[in-house]
Structure 1
Amino acid sequence: MISIKAIPRGNPQDVTAPAKFYAHAIADGEVNLERLAYLVSNQCTVRESDCYAVLLALMHNVADELSQGRVVDLGALGRFQVGVRSEGKDLQEDVNTHTVKSAHLNFRPAKRLRDMLATLKYKLIDG
């Protein structure tokens, strides 16, 4: 179950407009690679240390492939791709590597994860 709470947000296009309240998902803890390795090891015959080593290698290789500009397709999990934010320019020829402000990761979940998102249950918390 996903916890949500109401968060006020102003309208950036009309700063005089009153804020509206929007549902905001609240995280309920965190799971790290060590915990994932432990969970995976309990679901198969592979030892926890082996699972952890594989997850670390996966993380290293995903980062390396992304830094080479490749889309990383993790099958039933989804796809990762690097995206960039840049300054807007009036002319196409003014866009260059110096106009890039920052990079971020785009994640496109595969069907199983998209289906999971469609069936989530929510609970409102005070806050």
Structure 2
Amino acid sequence: MLKYKITQKANPQDREGPKKYYATPQTSGKKTLSAISRDITDMSSLSRGDISNVLLNLVDQIPKYLLDGQSVQLGELGSFRLSFGSEGAESSEDFNVSMIRNKKIIFTPGPSLKQELAKAQFELVKEKEAVS
């Protein structure tokens, strides 16, 4: 069950315009790598250390692959790729690498993740229960 609260916000493109009410997701905490390892241990024959080791090595490897210009496909989980923008230059000769901006990692969920998200149900959190 995905929890949300209702928040009044200004339109970022028209700060002077009327404020409107929007749904804001509410988290119920964080799931750490250690906790994920424990959860997976309960589902497999591998030890928590084995699973932690694999997950930590994956975290180490993904940036290396991305910085080598590769996208990283993790099966049903999804894929990661790098993206960036840049300032414009009048000509290709006027462009230099310092004009590159907004480096970010894009995650695209795989089919199974998308299917599970499509099944989401929502529950309104009362104001005193809301945790940001």
Q: When the two structures are superposed, what TM-score results if normalisation uses the length of structure 1?
A: 0.89
Code of the aligned partner of 1:23: A
Matches within 5 A, 1:86-97: 86-87=86-87, 89=88, 91=90, 93=92, 94-97=94-97
- The Cα shift of 1:68 comes to 1.5
RMSD after superposition: 1.6
Q: Identity over aligned residues, as a percent?
A: 28
The number of aligned residues is: 126
- The Cα shift of 1:10 comes to 1.6
Code of the aligned partner of 2:27: A
Tell me if 1:99 matches 2:96.
no
- The Cα shift of 1:29 comes to 0.8
Which residue is 1:42 aligned to?
Answer: 42
Structure 1 residues 95 and 58: alpha-carbon distance in aligned structure 2, compared to 1, 3 A threshold? same
Matches within 5 A, 1:68-87: 68-87=68-87
Instruction: Output the CA distance in 2 between the equivalents of 1:7 and 1:95.
Output: 43
1:53-74 deviation digits (Å, cap 9, x = unpaired): 0111111111211121210000
- The Cα shift of 1:95 comes to 4.4
- The Cα shift of 1:25 comes to 0.9
Runs of 4+ with >3 A deviation: none
Matches within 5 A, 1:1-127: 1-87=1-87, 89=88, 91=90, 93=92, 94-127=94-127
Gaps of 5+ in 1: none
Q: Secondary structure at the match of 1:38?
A: helix
Gaps of 5+ in 2: 128-132
Instruction: Output the CA distance in 2 between the equivalents of 1:111 and 1:58.
Output: 21
